[in-house]
Structure 1
């Protein structure tokens, strides 16, 4: 079965299949086994119908037995509800730190309100406890805490295959926005500690949350550490990056939107207010938000068509 799309360039064991998605939806990792398959991370909610179709095609009639979420950002669990509806008996496991927030469906604690993103309510049946192993698909996966990008994130490692499901802790070129920093937490050190963990595990193959599967783990770690050092030296640089990512993500969801509507959405999204007050308070918020949109256009990430901002 192997990987699909660009990920096919890297050989994976036949029981591990990567459905490489875009940046709106995280990659889906299918773990096939005789007792049914598991999917790790389920994409964004606007892609949920497509996610169900892709997973169903990949299963080839095999039941979906497990959903595992590395963390609960909307692009990693937005398809949970749709998959649970399609396979009602599927067993869903999440990292333990957000169990109570899921039970209460607290959209502020779960980051959906602060980011201005959506996620349909889903249930969970068990936890991915760091320091334990889970047997899903054809092999055992170690669960490791991987804070930084998200305080409660985990990564999954199969030592017999040397395969690491790294989520947003490590990409081929960097790592995800360090969201706890937006809320005023000192989380850059946690990013560094997670990179050290990955180095100690010595994976041969990394499946990132976004982008293609890769094998140059040393090169990816070196790039990530250089990027982290830049953020530590200049936290405003990370804040600007985070703001642009949030804006671009919503543009990916909407594809095109009146500039006035996007600005109103940003003004009502709590993380923009936090970033502005902490790092850009010398500028009026409306002017700062407009500058972010202008930067997206200058970089080619968006285009202007009259009063519309269009995904580039």
Structure 2
């Protein structure tokens, strides 16, 4: 496969990275956050593929930063969506827990999964065949895509160049860490020349990145509190990104209203939620994940703030109608 056949888009938060496979039947892997949908469309047009030409969109998993553009493409261009069958069923049944969007308090417009994927399925793009690998851990239905001839891996949020995807013990189960290790072990047996993850730059040394991710997960087994810190800091940092910061006087009430915060406080740290608020804020500041700017807490990572009018709509799976999209 020519290098130009695979176009990697490294994106700022709140959107995840995307990969466009230019072939006889082009596919787009992941679509970013919903507020960035027009930018997603612009990016693939500039890469030489019109939305009408897309054979399908394939989602590595169903978090809002990866699937938020699905609605735009499906509504405007009739694009078919493919995802792992377990996540597809939650989405198509309009389950309020779909995409963990309710628990995370993340807006997400409705979409329908037209192709339910299973482990070892194949996606044919014309000159190449991509293998679907079920790689759970970050979510139960997380998948990776592998093209054996070109030795290319698209690994979503299983691991990154210098990080790993956060683990949701409350929605994915306490064995999420073992599933992540099993998924890494499976990928470690592949010949990989190029790897692209959901966040950060292209992975220059896939084998080393897998080993580093494995080492981190193994360390967490004996220090489970680190799993909780990794998760809750990333969730709240992401909240600060999509809300473009939060006024100091609003933080307490907001956190106390969130399912993720209640769960981490009570079950991971065995604290009353009110007690955990200053502890979390202090850790965000100490770690450099966030900072105060005129009594407003803001995320320190580079991001592109969503338009307020888009965020104010606050659509979540509990608001989806059964007949929203019938593709």
User: 1:177: how far off?
Assistant: 0.7
Query: Once the two structures are superposed, what CA deviation does each residue of 1:108-165 show, in whole Å capped at 9, x if it has no partner?
Result: 1431011111211011211222112111264110001101111111100000100000
Asked whether 1:293 is paired with 2:297, we answer: no
1:59 aligns with 2:48: yes
Hey, what's the Cα distance between the residues in 2 that align with 1:107 and 1:136?
33
Residue by residue, what CA displacement relative to the aligned partner does 1:258-298 show, whole Å, maximum 9, x if unpaired?
A: 123233232222122111111222x3312312221222223
Q: Secondary structure, in 3 states, of the residue corresponding to 1:94? A: strand
What is the aligned partner in structure 1 of residue 96 from structure 2? 107
Please list, as runs of the form range in 1=range in 2, the aligned pairs for 1:186-205 lying within 5 A after superposition.
186-205=175-194
RMSD over aligned Cα, in angstroms? 1.9
1:100 positional shift = 2.2
SS at match of 1:309: strand
SS in 2 for 1:17: strand
> What is the CA distance between 1:22 and its match in structure 2?
2.0
| SS in structure 2 of the partner of residue 201 of structure 1 | coil
- Please tell me whether the aligned partners of residues 64 and 87 of structure 1 are also in contact (alpha carbons under 8 angstroms): no
Find the counterpart in structure 1 of residue 65 from structure 2: 75
Corresponding position of 2:256: 267
Match of 1:19 among 9, 29, 53: 9
Task: Please report how far the alpha carbon of residue 60 of structure 1 lies from its aligned counterpart in structure 2 after TM superposition.
Answer: 4.5
Of stretches 184-193 and 228-237 in structure 1, the one that deviates more from structure 2 is 184-193
Work out which of the residue numbers 174, 180, 196 in structure 2 matches 1:207: 196
> How far apart in 1 are the matches of 2:138 and 2:49?
34
| Paired position in structure 2 for 1:251 | 240
Instruction: Indicate yes or no: 2:294 matched with 1:306.
Output: yes
| TM superposition score normalised by structure 2 | 0.86
Distance 2:122 2:72 in 1: 27
Matched residue, 1:222: 211
Structure 2 residue 108 is matched with structure 1 residue 129: no
Q: Does the CA contact (< 8 Å) of 2:140 and 2:172 recur in 1?
A: no
1:9 is matched with none
Q: What's the TM-score, normalizing by structure 1?
A: 0.90
Query: What is the aligned length?
Result: 299
- Structure 1: unaligned runs, 5 residues or longer: 3-11
Instruction: Tell me how far apart the structure 1 counterparts of residues 91 and 187 of structure 2 sit (CA, whole Å).
Output: 28
**Match among 279, 283, 290 for residue 268 of structure 2:** 279
CA distance in structure 1 between the aligned counterparts of 2:249 and 2:235, rounded to whole angstroms: 16
Mark the CA change 1:169 to 1:177 in structure 2 (over 3 Å): closer, same or farther. same
Q: Tell me if the contact between 1:15 and 1:137 (Cα under 8 Å) persists in the aligned partners.
A: no
C-alpha distance in 2 between matches for 1:187 and 1:300:
27
Name the residue aligned to 1:7: none
In 2, are the aligned partners of 1:42 and 1:79 still within 8 Å (CA)? yes
